[in-house]
Amino acid sequence: MSYKDILSAAGLSASDLSGGTLTVQTPVDGSEIAQLAVHDVSTANAMIEKSHAAFLVWRSVPAPRRGEFVRLLGEELRRQKQALGALVTLECGKILQEGLGEVQEMIDICDFAVGLSRQLYGLTIASERPGHSMRETWHPMGVCGVITAFNFPVAPWCWNAALALVCGDPVIWKPSEKTPLTALAVQKICESVRAEFGEDAPEGLTQVLIGERDLGEALTAHKNVALISATGSVPMGRAVAADMSKRLGRTILELGGNNAMIVAPSADLEMALRAIVFSAVGTAGQRCTTLRRLIVHEDVYDALVPRLVTAYRGLPIGDPLEDGTLVGPLIDAQALAAMDAALETARGEGGTVHGGGQALRATHANAAYAHPAIVEMPEQSEIMHHETFAPILYVVRYRELDEAIALQNAVPQGLSSCIFSTDIRETEYFLSAAGSDCGIANVNIGPSGAEIGGAFGGEKDTGGGRESGSDAWKAYMRRQANTVNYSRELPLAQGIRFDI
């Protein structure tokens, strides 16, 4: 399939893709695939007002009916999975299997949200006063601004949007300037769903802002954006948090990770090997949950690490649209330069580097393909505390489990973690309060590739937000405590007397 065919299969016409100033290049070969028109800040502000007007309508549509909108969205995504998955691959360079997987996550969260639309449960609470009842109810919150990163161009939007929409919140989306095309394609799908749904889905229910960070800042600055869910780097999250705190707005922050695996002496090393390669090399090391640090018990180090180095040598690097490729390109030349710089620093800190360096230079001179790297480190040095968004896996040894857990927790980020062990004492300790400090802690699977049913997110510099499954929906609603007096008296709480 040509790039043109991929773009048109995803519903993008020549006029959608031309006439503007934002150049979009595919990381597959570096060629230009669009020149998009961008929004300016005053247009963004007008669009936010439109979202707010939509909120005033949508909040009163019954939640199960709002769920019907998301059901239709999920159906349309099912129909367009192949086309949208190929566009994800073309735009951000992850292999087609992962592009399709990303669309499947969108479908899964739509299914989840449809069920949720008939729940959104509150509580009844025992009142201390006779003839009184208490309850807690959940109401729509307001406009939900969604800011997303390049590496997952569509799934995080849907984790937020599917929940926000059933919760009664319109969604206004600022995708990464590096991957705006999938956002345009999804917005077209949303508009077709809105037409099918009928009049009670207001105009402006979902919108997309195309452009750079100034549009993200327009969202954080506007008082009518009740909630910002922002996915991206830690510096971006700090800026968003600071802006939102000025107006005491609500945030869900999903920021960088620096994820580790502990391989214990009792581990099934065959399974660990496969899990390591998938988690460290998938999406060319550009997942927030990518495995970046491997903490291996000294008794199994020599049985595992040389095999890992050999497995890395055989990895098929190439065009992510082609069957059989497991490692696609990095997003751009800066990402490759950051990888080279990190490897240089690691060497300076005593590391032994296996792999690394640019790949496919002869055939793909304008793209940023890299050989994934394994770096054996004498200790967890400074460079290992940073997230370099590239396929670098640092390896260190440990002797005692407490030491391994301390190493795992010693970095600023707290997204995902895992242990490979068949010793239940070790695995339960790892999951206990004294174990991993991350938002995600797994046993005998890698740190990446989460299902939508769990609440997704992490602690410390990862931002503390949770989205997707479990009770993450509560962040998209405002909680209200109600006390109803159905008696003929007016007793005060805490027995206070106030007679007039």
Least distance (Å) from ligand NAD to the CB of residue 156?
A: 6
Residue 78 in tokens: 């099912």
* Beta-bridge partners for 36: 22
Residue list 165-224, contact with ligand NAD (CB under 6 A): 174, 176-177, 212-213, 216-217, 220
Q: Smaller CB distance to ligand NAD: residue 149 or 208?
A: 149
Q: Does 84 bind ligand NAD (CB under 6 A)?
A: no
Q: Which residue is nearest to ligand NAD (CB)?
A: 216
Q: Could you say which of 140, 232, 318, 328 contacts ligand NAD (CB under 6 A)?
A: 232
Using the contact rule CB under 6 A, the part of the chain among 13-21, 89-97, 126-134, 249-257 near ligand NAD is: 249-257
Contact between 389 and ligand NAD per CB under 6 A: yes
Could you give phi then psi for residue 443, rounded to 5 degrees? -125, 125
Question: What are 124's strand-pairing partners?
Answer: 135
Contact 281, 437 (CB under 8 A): no
Q: Are 269 and 246 in contact (CB under 8 A)?
A: no
Encoded tokens for 348: 């300076």
Structure tokens at 30: 């570096």
Q: For ligand NAD, which is the closer residue by CB, 140 or 153?
A: 153
Question: From the CB of 223, what's the least distance to ligand NAD, in Å?
Answer: 16
Q: Report the alpha-carbon distance of residue 25 to residue 32 in Å, rounded.
A: 4
- What is the C-alpha to C-alpha distance for residues 363 and 380, in angstroms, rounded to an integer? 37
Cβ atoms < 10 Å from Cβ of 265? 14
Instruction: List, in sequence order, every residue forming a beta bridge with 375; answer none if it has no partner.
Output: 353, 394
Counting residues that bind ligand NAD (by CB under 6 A) gives 30
Name the DSSP class of 388.
Answer: -
Q: Which is nearer to ligand NAD, 269 or 338 (CB)?
A: 338
Q: Site residues for ligand NAD, window 267-326 (CB under 6 A)? A: 288
CB-nearer residue toward ligand NAD: 112 or 389: 389
* Residue 122: C-alpha distances to residues 141, 162, 226, 478 (Å): 15, 20, 21, 11
Residue selected from 22, 37, 134, 239 as contacting ligand NAD according to rule CB under 6 A: 239
Phi and psi, residue 327, nearest 5°: -125, 115
Interacting span for ligand NAD (CB under 6 A) from 5-13, 253-261, 298-306, 483-491: 253-261
CA angle centred on 283, ends 338 and 438, rounded to 5°: 85
What is the footprint of ligand NAD within residues 458-497 (CB under 6 A)?
462
User: Does 414 engage in binding with ligand NAD (CB under 6 A)?
Assistant: no
Q: Show contacts with ligand NAD in window 137-176 (CB under 6 A).
A: 147-152, 156, 174, 176
Which stretch in 41-49, 110-118, 186-194, 251-259 sits in contact with ligand NAD by CB under 6 A?
251-259
Contact 162, 70 (CB under 8 A): yes
| Among 254, 387, 426, 467, the one annotated catalytic | 254
* Torsional class of 114: left (φ above 0), alpha (ψ -120 to 50), beta (otherwise): alpha
Least separation, in Å, of the C-beta of 152 and ligand NAD?
Answer: 5
**Contact between 429 and ligand NAD per CB under 6 A:** no
CB of 211 to ligand NAD, least distance (A): 8
Binds ligand NAD by CB under 6 A, chosen from 116, 141, 226, 236: 236
> Over the range 181-193, which residues count as b (16 or more CB within 10 Å of their CB) and which as e?
bbbbbbbbbbeeb
Rounded to whole angstroms, the Cα distance separating 479 from 181 reads: 36
Question: Closest approach of Cβ 468 to ligand NAD, in Å?
Answer: 9
Closer Cβ to ligand NAD, 129 or 213, answer by number: 213
Amino acid at 106: M
Is residue 382 part of the annotated active site? The answer reads no
Q: Which is nearer to ligand NAD, 134 or 239 (CB)?
A: 239
- Cβ distance 116 to 163 under 8 Å? yes
Q: Is 257 in the site for ligand NAD (CB under 6 A)?
A: yes
Q: Which is nearer to ligand NAD, 139 or 213 (CB)?
A: 213
Identity of the residue, 214 or 268, whose beta carbon is nearer to ligand NAD in the bound complex = 214
What does the CA dihedral 26, 32, 37, 40 come to, rounded to 10 degrees? 70
Residue 181, C-beta contacts closer than 8 angstroms, at least 6 positions apart = 7, 10, 12, 17, 24, 33, 34, 36, 87, 90, 91
Residues with a known catalytic role: 254
Binding positions for ligand NAD, rule: CB under 6 A: 147-152, 156, 174, 176-177, 212-213, 216-217, 220, 231-233, 236, 239-240, 254-257, 288, 387, 389, 415, 462
